[in-house]
């Protein structure tokens, strides 16, 4: 199981939000490309980028910062990006720039036809981000709750051919309150494609719990966990946590 450092981009800077609130942001770095390289140097095997401005605007807003990150890490590790991706031209633009995986969130829920088209055109490159609270999927930068159940949508999108699903408990994101292990495992066990955990990673206890689920007889296929505030605040030592995950899921 891999740990995936998150670089959330707001106005060209590296920030973290609390529960997706743009008004509750903490800046952790002025130069996202330097931040990306630092995680690479610490042993990261994948990076997770979010264009926060794009998520709210519905179109890319931090392309220059994203491009600088891709140039900084080169072909060393895959990079995935979400936030404001609502059309095929945007996907093509990012993939041409070197992005390995494109995360579709709001558009997947509101326009499943677009998601299906993207999976056909860019097979192997499309990830769906399911952001939920109390089992219901949220859209539009987490500002709106839909009536859709996470597992129902997960199964539907799996049939479309998505590469994997990122499951985020938005009530926990940025709060260091712990991953929603139960909900993440429940989703992973309902699907055959990998699930990436996200939202609220607090410390080594969460790593242990996710690894235990990964090794369960009913193999929950938890591919990784996105690390945000905990690795920036120092609550979790990234290199030590990855080493522990390797030892527990070898």
User: Which of 8, 51, 169, 206 does the annotation list as catalytic?
Assistant: 8
In the residue annotation, 217 being an active-site residue is answered as no
Coil, strand or helix at 149: strand
Question: What is the residue-averaged pLDDT of the chain?
Answer: 89
Q: Are 73 and 99 in contact (CB under 8 A)?
A: no
pLDDT tier for residue 146 given thresholds of 50, 70 and 90: confident
Residue 35 φ then ψ, to 5°: -60, -45
**pLDDT value at position 38?**
95
Residue 211 φ then ψ, to 5°: -65, -35
Question: How far is 162 from 223, CA to CA, in rounded Å?
Answer: 14
Question: How far is 145 from 140, CA to CA, in rounded Å?
Answer: 9
Helices (H), 134-203: 150-160, 181-190
Per-residue pLDDT tens over the stretch 26-73: 777 789 999 999 999 999 999 999 999 998 888 899 999 999 999 999
Name the CA dihedral angle for 228, 233, 238, 240, rounded to a multiple of 10 degrees: -140
In the residue annotation, 87 being an active-site residue is answered as no
Q: Are 42 and 240 in contact (CB under 8 A)?
A: no
pTM over 0.85: yes
User: Which of 131, 169, 173, 206 does the annotation list as catalytic?
Assistant: 131
């Amino acid at each position: 199981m891999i740990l995936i450092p998150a670089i959330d981009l707001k106005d060209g800077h590296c920030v973290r939000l609390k529960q997706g609130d743009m008004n509750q942001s903490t800046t952790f770095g002025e130069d996202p490309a330097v931040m990306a390289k630092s995680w690479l140097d610490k042993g990261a095997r994948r990076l997770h980028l979010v264009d926060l401005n794009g998520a709210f605007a519905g179109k890319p807003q931090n392309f220059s910062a994203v491009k600088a990150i891709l140039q900084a890490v080169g072909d060393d590790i895959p990079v995935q990006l979400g936030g404001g991706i609502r059309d095929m031209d945007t996907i093509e633009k990012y993939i041409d720039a070197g992005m390995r995986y494109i995360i579709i969130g709001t558009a997947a829920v509101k326009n499943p036809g677009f998601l299906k088209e993207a999976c056909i055109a860019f097979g192997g490159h499309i990830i769906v981000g399911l952001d939920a609270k109390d089992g219901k999927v949220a859209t539009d930068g987490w500002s709106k709750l839909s009536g859709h159940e996470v597992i129902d949508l997960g199964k539907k999108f799996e049939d479309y051919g998505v590469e994997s699903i990122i499951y985020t408990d938005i009530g926990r994101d940025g709060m260091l309150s712990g991953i929603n292990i139960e909900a993440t495992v429940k989703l992973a066990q309902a699907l055959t494609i990998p699930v990436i955990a996200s939202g609220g990673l607090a410390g080594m206890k969460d790593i242990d719990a996710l690894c235990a689920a990964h090794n369960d007889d009913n193999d929950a296929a938890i591919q990784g966990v996105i690390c945000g505030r905990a690795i920036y605040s120092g609550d979790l030592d990234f290199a030590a946590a990855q080493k522990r995950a390797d030892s527990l899921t070898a």
